[in-house]
Structure 1
Amino acid sequence: DDGKLAFADEESDFDLVEDFGLNKNYKNCTHACHCMIFSKSNVPILDIYQSRSLILMQFRFDGFFGFPGGIVDPGESPEEALNRELSEELGLSSLVEFSKDDRVMVHYNKYKLLLLHFFLKEVSFDDFREIELRSMCAPEYGNEVLGTVRVPLYTMTDGYRGFPAFLQNKFIGNSRQQLLECLKILKIMNAEEIQKALTAFPLC
């Protein structure tokens, strides 16, 4: 699926779409859907750092990080496509289901005529762990998806390791932008904290 998506070199290639109704200007676009599954559990890391929340991302076949999801097939709604993709990528047949009310943003890439629908869902800590475990038995595990990861939402004492270092990885499309926007929506981090992480650099 994501072979059709490819990726943009710049996050600036994606514009936020204000109207979820999506007017006729987008009727010939390819649609894709992705999601952020999270738990507000504050599980300590190494008994030192507070995780603040658990956020699930994937390590993909192409070496990029991204969120679960994929292309919307003809006749599908974005949420129907997302639930299908979650079954294929994470083995979630009924544990987590998304509806149109879970959609929080849509981005448009005019260069690729691509609309990205992004969804957000909170789950319990136990369900989050179950999702991680099920993912290893999913049909696409080891193929499209090489594993799930938890986003490290803490910064270590050197000011770089942890979240700032994580943000220096390669992310598919605008998935890093989606992550940062959701952190603000959920009030897990504020704009100042995010900017500090984006501009941090390792100590030599």
Structure 2
Amino acid sequence: MLPPTWALSGSTRLDLQEFSTAFSRAWSQTESRFLKLECWQAYREAQACESQEVYEHGDIETACELLRREAEADRPLYEDVDKRHLDYARIRLVQEPLNPYLRYELLSYGIRAEMGENIEVVRCDPALRLPSDEYFDVLLFDRRTALIHDYGTGEVGRQSGGWLTHEPHVLARLEEMILALREGAVPLQQYLRQARTEQS
């Protein structure tokens, strides 16, 4: 599912390398807030991800060790968030029952939350198609820049690049979408406690 036409209006198409470069530039210019919306219920990295492969083979303990190692690579980012006093939030849309990918991802999120990442979870109707014209993956840097992911059209998101936009009307609509979802979100640890209670 590709993002809707309105979101790409006036945008610049980027390949993976250009997307990474644009992220670094936008991050360095962020002054107060960074919001990340994740909608796909399964992703696959462009390059092999060892922790995911190990998890899929049933070795949860080793997968957790690898996830901790992978998360360490982002420690400078978390430290930068603290130093710059940014409102940083990953808003994750989740459909239940959880598929194997989401169970793996929640392990990763637990580790990252311990390192200081703010992760907020929105429980969505399982009948809702995700992503959709209404909800799709995007990074919003203040009200200045947005990066919209291109994860293809399959059942599993595989990033091939994305789009960069500075269009004010697009940024305003993206902000409205994300903030509306954030109002119904709960912190990761609260979601995990609720899920455990409901399963017992």
Q: When the two structures are superposed, what TM-score results if normalisation uses the length of structure 1?
A: 0.26
Higher strand share: 1
Q: When the two structures are superposed, what TM-score results if normalisation uses the length of structure 2?
A: 0.26
